[in-house]
Each structure stands twice: as C-alpha cells, then as structure tokens.
C-alpha cells in the first residue's frame, strides 16, 4: 500500500493515541512498510497540506491536531492514558477523535483558576463553560500556534471581556459547550479513522452553517487548506 498523506495521518494518529508520542521518520517507515526517504517525503507532503506541523528544519512532529506533542495548558485523560491538547477546541477534539469519556484539566483563560470537567457520551459535565475563539478561520494558518493557543475556556462572558481587555486580545466568537462539543465532533470525529480526509473550504463552511455560526466571523476562504 502506498504511503498517501491520508494513510500517513492515520498511522501517526494511531501511534500518538497508543503511545503518547509520534514516531520518528525511521519508525514511521517501519510502520508504513516503506523506505525512509518515502516516509520523509510523505511527512513533508502532509505538512504542506497542514495535516501535521513539524519542528522547523526537521522531520520531528511538533503537533498533530488535535494532539499537541509538547506540554500545553490542556490535559485530556481517560482512565488509562492522557494527552496534551493544543487549545480548548483541540481538547474537545481529542474526546471526539477517541470516542471515549475523557476528563479535561486546564484553567480558565489559561490563568490561575483551575477548570476541570468531563465529556461523557458526547456531553459536557458542566454547562457553564464557554469557549472563546479570538480570530476566525481565515487567519488560523497565519501562525498556527498563536490563533490556536488562544482558544480558551472561560466560565462567563464578562470574564472573556475582562481577559481580552487585559491582554489586548480581540473578542471573537463565543460558543457554549453544546456548540463547542458539536463543532469538535463534526471537525475532529474522523481524525483517528483511516477514512480521514482533509476538509475542503466547502466542507468547513457546511459545518459552520450547520451550527448557525456567524458567517462574518466564521468565513472560510477558498485558500484554506
């Protein structure tokens, strides 16, 4: 079987789920049954379509959304394992990709107030939690860490207003937990599947319409990859 970007994504994701870390390209070539140069080329191809983020000037996997492969403010755990998530949305995304009950451990606004809740059978154990997206999809790949890392959980909208003012951050879109879990399920639900395919702008726009998200903020440009 040829090492397509989709198959590579599946192999990487399963390895991260099973072990907590990504394989290097040598081990990846063994998993895929291909030569190391082919594994390296496939990694670069997947990177070019934003299916993986590599450490600059290397073939080391830095992030495989929704999984972060370095410490973050979001820890997602099951009864037997745990993973870092890149942001609030990614933490819900890990729950969606796993299809298991998880506990999300973080803090409100990535500050001092601890915040922990569960996702059980696709439902959050707390209804008061909100998720804030400072910038819309059109800017997500300007710098994949800044927009993503600032997608945070809060316990009230005034707290979001105060946080944005204090940190000089724009106030963007605020989703309640019902919408946040639904969005994560629709976006990340197939990420651990061999049938995963990178979403097109039309796919993304359809999901945003389905959730009745504000089109002026959730604008998906045709250049989105």
Q: What is the pLDDT of residues 84-136, one digit of tens each?
A: 999 999 999 999 999 999 999 999 999 999 999 999 999 999 999 999 999 99
Residue range 155-172, pLDDT digits in tens: 999 999 999 999 999 999
Mean pLDDT computed over 42-54 = 91
- Predicted confidence at residue 140, as pLDDT, reads 84
Cβ neighbours of residue 205 closer than 8 Å, sequence gap 6 or more: 220
The pLDDT, as a whole number, for residue 144 is 73
pLDDT > 70? residue 225: no
Burial of 101 (0-12, 13-18, 19+ CB in 10 A): middle
Q: Has this prediction a pTM greater than 0.85?
A: yes
111, 164 contact by CB (below 8 A)? no
Average pLDDT over residues 167-196: 96
User: How confident is the model over 197-216, as pLDDT tens digits?
Assistant: 999 889 999 999 999 999 99
């Amino acid at each position: 079987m040829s090492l397509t970007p989709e198959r590579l994504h599946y192999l990487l994701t399963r390895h991260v789920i099973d072990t907590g870390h990504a394989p290097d390209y040598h081990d990846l070539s063994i998993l895929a049954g291909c030569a190391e140069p082919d594994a390296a080329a496939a990694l670069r191809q997947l990177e070019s379509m934003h299916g993986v983020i590599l450490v600059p000037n290397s073939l080391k996997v830095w992030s495989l959304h929704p999984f972060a492969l370095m410490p973050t403010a979001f820890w997602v755990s099951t009864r037997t394992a745990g993973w870092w998530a890149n942001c609030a949305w990614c933490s819900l995304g890990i729950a969606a990709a796993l299809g298991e009950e998880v506990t999300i451990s973080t803090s409100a606004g990535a500050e001092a107030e601890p915040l922990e809740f569960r996702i059980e059978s696709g439902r959050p154990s707390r209804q008061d939690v909100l998720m804030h997206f400072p910038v819309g999809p059109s800017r997500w790949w300007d710098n994949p860490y800044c927009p993503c890392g600032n997608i945070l959980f809060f316990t009230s909208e005034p707290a979001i207003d105060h946080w944005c003012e204090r940190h000089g951050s724009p106030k963007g879109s605020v989703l309640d937990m019902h919408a946040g879990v639904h969005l994560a399920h629709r976006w990340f639900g197939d990420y651990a599947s061999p049938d995963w395919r990178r979403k097109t702008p039309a796919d993304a726009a359809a999901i945003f319409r389905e959730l009745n998200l504000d089109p002026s903020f959730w604008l998906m440009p045709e250049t989105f990859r």
